[in-house]
Amino acid sequence: MKNLDNDRIRELVQQAYGRIAVSSDEESCGCGCGSGSDVREYAKSLGYSEEELQAIPDAANLALSCGNPTALASLKPGETVLDLGSGAGFDCFLAADRVGPEGRVIGVDMTAEMVEKARANVRKHGALNIEFRLGEIESLPVEDGSIDVVISNCVINLSPAKERVFQEIRRALRPGGRVAVSDIVLLRELPEAISNDLAAYTGCVGGAVTVEEYRSLMEAAGLTGIEVKTTPYAGAGETLAVYIASAYITARK
């Protein structure tokens, strides 16, 4: 998005996901695609089990994922988890089940419609150890050193200031805290027509970076023990499959 500044990119992403949040009867295509009965099968294709999906309200599953970060996180009872770009709460509900009543899950999303949808899911399903906060992942509304585990699912690629996101992750984590992220990464440079296309950006493609750049940004922020594993992205289709992949990224503070 060479012709747009960071604030304008954030505004356009916010508008796109606001529309997804309020149009649950329509097909959604952000990071991931699906509608109706297909959303469960899409989640299973990313590694979510039927048992895991039972812990997640159907209304929280908007098929916006590109992986299952909770599978990497090794969550323990009593831990505090922060979900970046939590949407309608999909991974938050699963994390809340893992950390138990003594644990806590905080979801942060910059889209007011998503936060309200997530809060409605909490009210309906009575998950007392989850809260959702309106905020940007480049400026997280959490205290320094207050988080045990940061998770995120197909969201960091949407940020036009990824270096700031990783700085904020490190600030939020307690010493020894963990990062478990699923995201979209580039396998090769995108054609200009795709990299400058708004639909490609909000679809988690246009803003993606290479594995090497992803790792460099995390290292520059002071994160350590970085491991990256790539897999084919289920939502890519034949055209994009040669350019992008899903990545599972773990690290520590």
Whole-model pTM: value is 0.93
* pLDDT average, residue stretch 146-168: 97
Residues making up the chain, counted from first to last: 253
- Asked if 155 contacts 183 with a C-beta cutoff of 8 angstroms, the reply is yes
What six digits make up the tokens of 217?
């940004």
Lowest mean pLDDT among 152-156, 192-196, 219-223: 192-196
3-state secondary structure of 200: helix
Q: Is 222 left (phi over 0), alpha (psi -120 to 50) or beta?
A: left
Q: 1 pLDDT band (50/70/90 cuts)?
A: low
Domains and their CATH numbers in the chain:
6-252 (3.40.50.150)
pLDDT of residue 24 exceeding 60, the answer is: no
Q: What's the rounded mean pLDDT across residues 114-124?
A: 95
**pLDDT tens, residue by residue, 53-93:** 988 898 999 888 999 999 999 999 999 999 999 999 999 99
Residue 3's Cβ-count burial label (10 Å; 0-12, 13-18, 19+) is exposed
Average pLDDT of the residues of the chain: 90
% of the chain at pLDDT higher than 90: 64
Q: 133: number of CA atoms within 13 Å, CB side?
A: 15
Residue-wise pLDDT tens digits, 140-156: 999 999 999 999 999 99
